[in-house]
Structure 1
Amino acid sequence: MAQFATPISSMDSAAALCLVLILATTIASPAVDAQQTNNVGCITSERDALLSLRAGITSDPRNLFSSWNGQDCCQWSGVRCNNRTGHVVKLDFRNNLFLDDIYRSWYSENPHGMRGNISSSLLALHHLEYLDLSGNYLGGVGVPIPRFFASFQSLVYLNLSCMDFDSKVPPQLGNLSRLLYLDISNIWNPNRYSMHIKDISWLLCLPLLRFLDISGVDLSAIDNWVQAVNMLPNLRALHLRNCELVFPHTPIVHSNLTSLEILDLADSGFHTINPAYWFWDVGTIRYLDLTNNEISEAFPNAMGNMTSLEVLRLGGNNLAGVKLKVLENLCNLRVLTLWSNQINQDISQFMEELPHCAWSKIESLDMSLTNLTGEIPKWINQWTDLSILQLSSNRLEGPVPPELFKLEKLKQLYLDGNYFNGSILEEHLATLVNLEELDLSYNSLHMMISSNWIPPFQLHLAYFPGCKMGSHFPLWLKGQKDIIYLDISDAGIVDNLPDWFWSVCSNVIYLNISFNQISGRLPKTLEFMSSAVIFDLNSNNLTGTLPKLPKQLAELDISRNSLSGPLPQNFGGPLLEDLLLSENSINGTIPIYICEMQLVVLDLAKNFLVGHLPRCSEGTTKLSRSISALVLNENSLSGEFSSFLESCSQLVLLDLAQNNFVGELPTWLADKLPDLSYLLLRHNKFSGSIPVQLTQLGHLQYVDLAYNRISGSIPRTLANLKAMAQETESLGNPLRWTYERPANPDTNDSPKYSDSLAVVMKGQYLDYTGNIIYMVGLDLSCNRLVGEIPDELTSLVGLNNLNVSHNQLSGRIPEKVGLLRLLESLDLSYNEISGEIPPGLSEITALSRLNLSYNNLSGRIPSGNQLQSLIDPESSYIGNNYLCGPPLSRNCWEPDATGGDIDEQQQEAKYFYVGLVAGFVFGLWLVFIIVLFRTCAGSARSGAVPSRWTRLPQGLELQLSRG
C-alpha cells in the first residue's frame, strides 16, 4: 500500500465539502409533511408514495404487493412504520430466494426478482431509516443508482446489492451521513452490469459507517482508496472483492481502522503480500480473505501477530512450499482455506505444522487441489470441532481411516478425486449425525451399505460418481428428503428406478444418474420438480416418452436411452438451454414448439425423425436468436437446406450428417451465420458446387461434405479460411460443448462429464469430447470433384485432417504439402493424381495415417522416419504401378551385370526404345530409296533418266545393286 501523507488542509477541505453537501441537501429537501395521520395510522402522503412505487413495478414474481390493500400502509408486506409517529421507517424488499442460492443465479436469470423502475415519489418518505432492494431488477443498461437516494437523510441502512444498476456510482451517497451499513456490491449479478467509481472521497462524509461492501464495482481509476477507507474509524467490515484495485508499492505508515474485524480483498489483483501492508497492523481483524489473487511468496512474519485471526482464506493463489511455522500463535484460528495452491506436502506433515493450540478449534479446512500426498492421519480425531473438511483433487491414498468418521460435528466431507481405496461401511457413517454434504466421487471406493439401513443424517449434497454402490439401487436414499444435489453416475447400478425416486428428488437442483444401467419408465410429467436446473440421465435403459419438463430446467440430457414415440407438441421447459436426446428411438417430426424455446444446444442425433425442419418464423422465433449448436445427424430428415437457419446468427455448430437433405449449398452461409465453426453435412444428397462464399467464414475450422453429389473444382479461395490457417492453440472457439456438475465455489472443480461429437478421421468414426474445439479438418471425399488439388490448400497450416479421396481429381500433389505439419490424417486415394510424391511429405511429423492408393503416382517414395512409422504403410501406396522403394516390394535399386541400378536401366531402356523407333523409320526410308533407285535404274536402261537425279558414288551404287 502507498504512504498517503495527507496534509491537514486537504482533510479540512474534505470535511468542509461534506458539510456543504449535507447543508445543500437539507435546504433542497421539501418541507416535512405535517403529521396528518388518518384513523388507521398511515400518513396519506407516504401511502401515496408507496402506491407510486408499486405502479413502477412491472413484474412481482413473489407477489410482495398482494397484501398492499386497505388504507393502513403500515400493515403492508415489506413496510414498517414508527409505532409512535406512524412514519414509514423501513422498506425491505430483499429477494432472499435469489441471494440465498448463488449457484442458481449463475445458471439462469433470477426468476424471483421484481422488475421495473424506482419512482422518485419515495422522496416523500423523509423518515426512512432502512432500505433494502437487493436481488431485484430495478435498473438496467445505463441506469445508475438513483441520485435522489441521497435525500433520505435518516437512512442508517442501505442495501442495493445484486441489482442491475449500471454506470457511475453517484457521489451524492456521501450525503447520507448517518449511514451505518452500505452495500452496493455487484459481484453476484448474472448480467454483470458495470458500475464504477472514479472519485471515492465521498466516503469521508460517512464517518459512522460500520459496514461497507462495494465488491464488483470498478475502482481501477482510484489510487487513494486506502487513504479513503483509512478515514473511517468505526469501520468493522470492508468488502472490496473484485474491484480491480490499484496497489501502490509504498505502504501506509499507520492504520486508523482500529475496529476493523472483517477484510475481504479477494479477486483484487494482489501480486505480493508485502509484510508492511497496512492491514497486518490491524490486530482486531478476525476475518481476512485474499482468495483468487496472484500471491506466491511465503507468509510474512507479520501474519503471526494477527492473534485475533479466526478466518484465513488464501485459496486460488500461487503459494508453494508453505511454511506454517509463522502461524503457530494463531490460537483462535477456526477456518483455513488454501485450495488451488502448490502445497506439495504429505498431509500428515502439513496438519502437524498447523498451530496445535487451534487443533480443537478448527472448524473448516479446505486443502483441495494442493497436491497433498499420503494417507489421512488417524489422529485427525483430535480435531473435535471440525465440521468442514475438503480434500478434493489431491493424491491422497489408502483407506479412509475410521477415525475420520468419529468427528461427529462433520457437516461437509469432500474426498473426491483422490486415490482412496477400500470400503465405506454403514457403521462408518452412522456417527455423522450432522452430515449435510458428502462427496466420495472418483476414487476406488465401494459403498457397502445394506438395503434396510436408515442414515442418521439428511444430506443436501450427495456425490458418488465413480463409486461402486453395488448393482442394486441405493435404497438408503429413500429417507433423504432434503437432497438438492444428487450424483450417482457411473456407480455400477443395474436395477429398476424405484417408484419413490422422483418424490425424494422433488426439490433437487442438480440430478445425475448417468452411465449406469438403470431401467424404468419416465413419468409423464416432471413439472412438480420446480427447483430443478440440471438433469443428466444419459446412458441408461430408461423408456417412455419425453415428459413435461420443470419450468426452471436449464439443461437436460437423456441421450443414449430407450425413449420412444414422437416428441410432444409442448413439453414445457421454457428456460431450457441444452436439450440432448440423441441415441434413442424417438420418431415422428420435430415439433414447431422447438421454435419457441431459447435453446443453446439441441441434439436429436441418432433417432428416427422424419420430415423437414420446422418452419420457424424468421427473426421472431426465440430459437433462432439463441441456438449455438444444432445436431441432427443420423435421422431420416429431408428437404433442402432450411431457410430458417438464415436467422440463426449465433450458430456455431451445424450437424445434418446422414440424412436425406437435397439441393445446393446456400450462398448466404457467411452473411447469415458469421460464427459458424463446424459444418457437418456428410452422407446426404447435396449437389452443385462448393459455394465460394463459404470461404468467407472466419471461424470455420471443420467442414465435412463427404458422400454427397457435389461437383466442380475445389475453390482456390479455401485458403481464405482463417480458422484453418492458424495454429490450433490460437483458435478463439466460441462453442460450449460441456456439461458441468455444480462446482464447489471454493475449489473450482473441473467438469466431470462432457458430451461427445462424432467426427470421421483416420478412416473411422471418432468421438471427440471437449477436444472437438481443437479439431481442424476438411473432408470433401466421395463426391464428383474434378481438376487439381489447389496449391493454396497448403496455407491451411492448422489442418489435422484432409480428405479428398474418391473423386476425379487430377494433376500433382501440391509441392508444399510439407507445410501442413499438424496433419494427422491425409487421404488422397481413388483419384487420378499423377507425378511424384513431394519429399516434403516426410516432414509432417504428426502424420499417423496416409492414403495415396489407387492413383497414377510414380517415382521413388520419399524416405523419413514418420512415413516409415505409419500403420500398414504399404497399403498407403497400392494401386500406383510406377511407385517404387520402401515400404513397397518394388525396389528402385536392383544390381545387374553391369553394376547399374534400376533407375539407370530405366533410363537406358528409354534410350533403347527411342533408338529402336528411329532405326525403324530409317529402315523404311532405305527400303523406299532402294525401290526408287531400281525404278530409276530401269528407266536409265531405257534412256529415260530424270534430270533431277545425279549419279550415286560408285561404292554406294554397288551396295544398293547388291541389296
Structure 2
Amino acid sequence: MVSNATTLETLDIAISNIEGPISNVEWGKLCNLQDLYLTQNKLNGDISRVVEGLSNCSNTTLEFLGLAGNRLTGQFPYSLGHLKNLRILSISFNQISGTIPTSIEQLSRLEILDLGQSQLKGALPESIFNLTELTQLFLATNDWEGNLSQNDFARLHQLKFLAISCGERFSVNLSSEWIPPFSLTYIEIRKCAFGTKLPTWLKTQKQLHTNILSNGSVSDSIPPWLWTMCSQLQFLELSDNEIGGNLPRLVNFPSSQIWTADFYSSYSDGVVVDLSSNSFHGGIPPSLCSPPSLFWLRLSRNNLFGELPKSLSNCKSLLTLDIGENKISGTIPEWFGESLLSLQKLSMTENMIGGHIPPTLCQLFGLQILDLSHNNLTGSIPSCLGNLRGNKDMTYTFTLDLIDLSFNNLHGEIPNEITGLSSLGTLNLSWNQLSGRIPEDLGSMQQLETLDLSSNHLSGSIPLSMTSITTLSYLNLSYNNLGGPIPSKNQFGTFTNPSSFECNPELCGKPLITDCSPPRKRDLKKIEEEDDDDERLWF
C-alpha cells in the first residue's frame, strides 16, 4: 500500500493506465512526499481529498503535484494555500469545478500553474498575477468570468508559456501597442477579440516558437513581419479567423527544434502549421516544405485553388495533410504514395479533384484517415487499399481510422480486399456509381462502427456475415438494388429505422413494411385464376 510508504519522496506512476478512486490512498501519511506524478491515468474521485490530506502535514515538502489528464471531480479546498513549497500545480483535462480559492496567493514559489481544460468558473483571483515566479500559466477552456487587461500581467516578468481563452462572460483586452514585460516562447489565445489586425505586440516576442491565435475575428491579411517570424516558429495556428490574401511564396520555417509545453504538448520534432477556416486564396506556396521539417499542415476551409505543387513531395516528415473545403483541382499526384511515406491523415474533401485514385496511395502503410469525399474522382476503387493494414498498430491520438470516398463518380465493384482492414472504424462509399454485390467477407471488419454504402447500384443480398459486426452503430444501405430478407440477428436488431434500407425494391423484412413470407395457398389460387383470365382475354 502506498499509504504505508511514509518515507516516500517521489511517486511517479504517470501514463500507467491506473484507474479507481483517488481517495483509496491516505494522503495525510505521505508527509515526506516532494514529487507526485499521476498524470494521464484513469483516476477518479474528489481532488479535495488529495489536497486536504497533503496539506494536513505539519511541514509539507510537496513541490510537484501533477494530476492532469484524469477524471477527477470536486473543488479546490482553501487548504490549497498550505502547500507553500509547491512549484508546479498541474490539474488540466479533468472535471474539476468551482472557483480558485484566494489562498492560492500563498503559493509564492509557484512556477507552473496548469488549470486548463476543466470546469472551473468564477473570477480569476487577482493574486494569481502576483505570483512573480510563474513561468507557465495555462488557463484555457474553463468558464471564467470578468475581464483581464495588460495591467494584470505587469508583474509576470518570468512568464514563458501563456494559454488563455475567452468566453461569453470572460474577455482579455490587450492593446496592440502593448509592450509585454515578458518574452514568451509559447502563446495560445483562443476566442478573444483582437480587432481586424493581428496585435503588433507579437513582434516583441523574439523567442516565440509557438503562436496560436484562434477565433480572434482577424480579417486583415497577415503582415510581412509575421511571415518573417516563421523562421523562429515551430507551431503556427491562426485558424477560425477571417484572414484573407495570398499565402506568401516564401515561408522559412526552422529545420528542427525540440520543445515541450508540459501536458499541453504531444509534439517533439517538426513544424505545425494550421491556417484553416480563413479566407486565404491563391495557390499553395511551393516553399512550405523547405526545409522538410513540416509534419502537420492544415489549410482546410479557405479559398485556395490550383493544383498541388510538386514541392509538397519534399515533406518527407508530414504526418497530417488537410486541404479540405477549398477549390483545389487537378488529380491526386502519383508521388503522394512515393514521397509522403510518413502520412497518417490525408483529407482532401470538398474540392474539385478529378481523375483516378492512384494505386500508389496504397503504399502509405501508416495511413489511418483517408478522406477524398465530395470530389470528381472517377474509375474504380483500388483493390490494394486492403493493404493499408499497418493502421491497426498505430496509436496516434489524433487518428480515427476512417476511409471516406463518398460523393464522387467511382464505379465498378467494391473490392473484396477492403474487408482485410479489420481495424477500420468508418467506411463511407455512398453517392457513387458502384455496382455488384456487397463483399461476402464484410463481417471480418470487426471494428466497423459506421458503414454507409447508400445511393449506389449495389445488388444481391445483404451478407449474413455482417451480423457478426457487433460494433456497428450506424448503417445505411438505402437507394440501391439490394434484394432478399434483411438480417435480424445481433446488431441488425437495433437498426429499426426504415431509412437505413429504403428504396431497395427487392429488399424485405423489418424494419421495412414489405413482408418476406411466401404467399399463402388461397393467394396462390387467386393469382392462378387471374393468370387464366389474362390468357383467355389475350386469346
Task: Tell me the TM-score range normalised by the shorter chain.
Answer: 0.7 to 0.9
1:438 aligns with 2:137: yes
**Partner Cα separation in structure 2 for residue 504 and residue 549 of structure 1:** 11
Q: Quick one: structure 1 residues 496 and 647, their matched pair in 2 at CA, closer, same or farther if it must change by over 3 Å?
A: same
Alignment of structure 1 residues 552-563 onto 2, 5 Å: 552-563=232-243
- Who is 1:605 aligned against? 300
- Flag the structure with higher strand content: 2
Q: Quick one: structure 1 residues 517 and 904, their matched pair in 2 at CA, closer, same or farther if it must change by over 3 Å?
A: farther
Secondary structure in 1 aligned to 2:273? strand
- Who is 2:276 aligned against? 582
1:420 aligns with 2:120: yes
Alignment of structure 1 residues 311-390 onto 2, 5 Å: 312-316=9-13, 321-324=24-27, 327=30, 335-340=34-39, 347=48, 351-352=52-53, 356-359=57-60, 362=61, 364-369=63-68, 374-382=74-82, 384=84, 386-390=86-90
Relative to the length of structure 1, the TM-score reads: 0.46
**Equivalent residue letter for 1:441:** A
Q: Is the 8 A contact 1:892 1:903 kept in 2?
A: no
Q: Quick one: structure 1 residues 565 and 423, their matched pair in 2 at CA, closer, same or farther if it must change by over 3 Å?
A: closer
**Partner Cα separation in structure 2 for residue 378 and residue 845 of structure 1:** 49
Secondary structure in 2 aligned to 1:403? helix
1:633 aligns with 2:324: yes
Q: Is the 8 A contact 1:636 1:660 kept in 2?
A: yes
Q: Is the 8 A contact 1:348 1:374 kept in 2?
A: no
**Equivalent residue letter for 2:394:** N
- Who is 1:929 aligned against? none
Secondary structure in 2 aligned to 1:825? strand
**Partner Cα separation in structure 2 for residue 609 and residue 584 of structure 1:** 10
- Who is 2:309 aligned against? 614
Q: Is the 8 A contact 1:451 1:476 kept in 2?
A: no
Deviation at 1:731, TM superposition (A): 0.8
Deviation at 1:648, TM superposition (A): 0.6
Q: Is the 8 A contact 1:582 1:607 kept in 2?
A: yes
Find the partner of 1:508 among 201, 208, 222: 208
1:523 aligns with 2:223: yes
Q: Is the 8 A contact 2:313 2:339 kept in 1?
A: no
- Who is 1:163 aligned against? none
1:888 aligns with 2:512: yes
**Partner Cα separation in structure 2 for residue 790 and residue 905 of structure 1:** 45
Find the partner of 1:731 among 376, 392, 402: 392
Alignment of structure 1 residues 114-193 onto 2, 5 Å: none
Deviation at 1:336, TM superposition (A): 3.6
Deviation at 1:460, TM superposition (A): 0.9
Find the partner of 2:249 among 553, 559, 569: 569
Q: Quick one: structure 1 residues 815 and 913, their matched pair in 2 at CA, closer, same or farther if it must change by over 3 Å?
A: farther
- Who is 2:499 aligned against? 875
Q: Is the 8 A contact 1:602 1:629 kept in 2?
A: yes
**Equivalent residue letter for 1:358:** N
Deviation at 1:366, TM superposition (A): 1.4
- Who is 1:827 aligned against? 453
Q: Quick one: structure 1 residues 485 and 299, their matched pair in 2 at CA, closer, same or farther if it must change by over 3 Å?
A: farther
- Who is 2:262 aligned against? none
Alignment of structure 1 residues 214-253 onto 2, 5 Å: none
**Partner Cα separation in structure 1 for residue 366 and residue 275 of structure 2:** 24
**Equivalent residue letter for 1:568:** P
Q: Is the 8 A contact 1:556 1:578 kept in 2?
A: yes
1:803 aligns with 2:483: no
Secondary structure in 2 aligned to 1:404? helix
Q: Which string of whole-angstrom CA distances, capped at 9 and with x for unpartnered residues, describes residues 78-97 of structure 1?
A: xxxxxxxxxxxxxxxxxxxx
Question: Which one scores higher on RCO, CA 8 angstroms, separation ≥ 6?
Answer: 2
Q: Which string of whole-angstrom CA distances, capped at 9 and with x for unpartnered residues, describes residues 837-869 of structure 1?
A: 455555544444444444444454444575464
Q: Is the 8 A contact 1:470 1:493 kept in 2?
A: no
Q: Which string of whole-angstrom CA distances, capped at 9 and with x for unpartnered residues, describes residues 58-103 of structure 1?
A: xxxxxxxxxxxxxxxxxxxxxxxxxxxxxxxxxxxxxxxxxxxxxx
Unaligned stretches of 5+ residues in structure 1: 1-295, 305-311, 527-546, 700-721, 724-729, 739-769, 894-900, 925-963
**Partner Cα separation in structure 2 for residue 784 and residue 454 of structure 1:** 57
Q: Quick one: structure 1 residues 864 and 789, their matched pair in 2 at CA, closer, same or farther if it must change by over 3 Å?
A: same
RMSD over equivalenced CA pairs, Å: 4.4
**Partner Cα separation in structure 2 for residue 446 and residue 356 of structure 1:** 34
Deviation at 1:358, TM superposition (A): 1.3
1:698 aligns with 2:387: yes
Deviation at 1:424, TM superposition (A): 1.8
Unaligned stretches of 5+ residues in structure 2: 256-269
Q: Quick one: structure 1 residues 588 and 421, their matched pair in 2 at CA, closer, same or farther if it must change by over 3 Å?
A: closer
Larger gyration radius, structure 1 or structure 2: 1
**Partner Cα separation in structure 1 for residue 4 and residue 110 of structure 2:** 29
1:400 aligns with 2:100: yes
Q: Quick one: structure 1 residues 398 and 869, their matched pair in 2 at CA, closer, same or farther if it must change by over 3 Å?
A: same
Q: Quick one: structure 1 residues 461 and 870, their matched pair in 2 at CA, closer, same or farther if it must change by over 3 Å?
A: farther
- Who is 2:339 aligned against? 648
Q: Is the 8 A contact 1:559 1:583 kept in 2?
A: yes
Q: Is the 8 A contact 1:324 1:354 kept in 2?
A: no
Q: Quick one: structure 1 residues 806 and 324, their matched pair in 2 at CA, closer, same or farther if it must change by over 3 Å?
A: closer
Q: Quick one: structure 1 residues 590 and 830, their matched pair in 2 at CA, closer, same or farther if it must change by over 3 Å?
A: closer
**Partner Cα separation in structure 1 for residue 207 and residue 392 of structure 2:** 41
Deviation at 1:813, TM superposition (A): 4.7
**Partner Cα separation in structure 2 for residue 349 and residue 615 of structure 1:** 56
**Partner Cα separation in structure 1 for residue 148 and residue 66 of structure 2:** 28
Q: Is the 8 A contact 2:284 2:308 kept in 1?
A: yes
Deviation at 1:626, TM superposition (A): 3.1
Aligned residues: 511
Q: Is the 8 A contact 2:443 2:469 kept in 1?
A: yes
Q: Percent identity?
A: 25
**Equivalent residue letter for 1:313:** T
**Partner Cα separation in structure 2 for residue 377 and residue 888 of structure 1:** 58
Deviation at 1:633, TM superposition (A): 3.4
Q: Quick one: structure 1 residues 632 and 349, their matched pair in 2 at CA, closer, same or farther if it must change by over 3 Å?
A: closer
**Partner Cα separation in structure 2 for residue 457 and residue 517 of structure 1:** 27
**Equivalent residue letter for 2:512:** L
Deviation at 1:419, TM superposition (A): 3.6
**Equivalent residue letter for 1:347:** S
Deviation at 1:553, TM superposition (A): 2.0
Q: Quick one: structure 1 residues 447 and 513, their matched pair in 2 at CA, closer, same or farther if it must change by over 3 Å?
A: farther
Deviation at 1:405, TM superposition (A): 1.7
**Partner Cα separation in structure 2 for residue 417 and residue 679 of structure 1:** 29
